[in-house]
Amino acid sequence: MRSQTVIKAPVLSFDTADSANSSPVEWTHGKEMVVFTLSDSAVSGPLQKLDLNDETTSPAAIKDGAVVLLKLRAETTAAADVPASYMRSRAAMVIFPELPGDQEMFEQRSQRMPRMSRKMDGEPVPPVRVVVKPGAMAQLWAAPEGTIVKLQADVTPWETSHTWNVLAKIEGTMKKDQIILLSAHLDHLGAKNGKTYPGADDDASGTVAVMELARALAKGPKPRRTIVFALFGSEEAGLIGARAP
In which band, very low, low, confident or very high, does the pLDDT at 21 lie, cut at 50, 70 and 90?
Answer: low
Q: Beta strands 128-132 and 33-38: pairing type? A: antiparallel
CA 203 to chain centre: 20
CATH 3.40.630.10 for domain 163-243, yes or no, is yes
pLDDT at 80 over 60: yes
Determine contact, residues 67/150, Cβ cutoff 8 Å. Answer: no
Determine contact, residues 228/167, Cβ cutoff 8 Å. Answer: yes
For residues 118 and 64, give the distance between their C-alpha atoms in angstroms, rounded to a whole number. 21
Domains 2-158 and 163-243 share a fold: no
pTM for the model: 0.72
Which residue(s) pair with 37 in the sheet? 115, 129
What's the whole-number mean pLDDT along residues 60-82?
A: 87
pLDDT, the chain, mean: 88
The CATH number fitting domain 2-158, selected from 1.10.10, 3.40.630, 3.30.70, 3.50.30: 3.50.30
Domain limits of the chain?
2-158, 163-243
Q: What confidence tens digit (pLDDT) does each residue in 135-160 have?
A: 999 999 999 999 999 999 999 998 88
